[in-house]
Amino acid sequence: MSFFARLYEWFGLLPVYSHDMAEFLKGMDVSCTGYYALPWYFYVGLLMIIITTLLFLLQYDLISSRRFPKAEHWGLAAFVVFVVNYALAFTAPFVAQQTKFYCPGLQLTVVDCIGFGVSNGAWALVYFSLLSLVQKVRSR
């Protein structure tokens, strides 16, 4: 879990959401007594890897056909990867923020939800690009 926490917090270099959001994502429970709630960092990170890999495999299969130009189709696939991963990461904390189902000592905002979504989408694009680069090198 700490790998995904460090990753989404950009290794402490570029905070895109508040410390309170980070505490929520680590799993701070509703009673504020400890980290007993869902560890969102882990689940969102694991889903990001799975979804991005599946979308890459789908994109790679479509590129292998002659119906789609490679560069244009890769760009569309990258956009879909970003949007899907953004929506995934935005939704979980947004629902908690709207229903107020989190530790009352934490201050979660919609901007925090957007920041976490952008962070997840950006890391998904990095992973998608690495997969594409590996595939390109392998195919030579």
The pLDDT of residue 69 is 57
The pLDDT of residue 136 is 81
What range defines the domain where residue 103 resides? Answer: 2-138
Q: Could you tell me the maximum CA-CA distance found in the chain, to the nearest angstrom?
A: 57
pTM greater than the 0.85 cutoff: yes
The pLDDT of residue 67 is 58
What are the per-10-residue average pLDDT scores of the chain (140 residues)? Answer: 88 90 93 91 96 91 61 85 98 94 94 97 97 84
The pLDDT of residue 116 is 97
The pLDDT of residue 56 is 92
The number of folded domains in the chain is 1
CA 130 to chain CA centroid, Å, is 15
The pLDDT of residue 16 is 93
Q: Please spell the DSSP secondary structure of the chain, one letter per residue.
A: -HHHHHHHTGGGT---S-HHHHHHHHT--TTSSSS-S--HHHHHHHHHHHHHHHHHHHHHHHHHSSSS-HHHHHHHHHHHHHHHHHHHHHHHHHHHHHHT-S-TTS---HHHHHHHHHHHHHHHHHHHHHHHHHHHHHT-
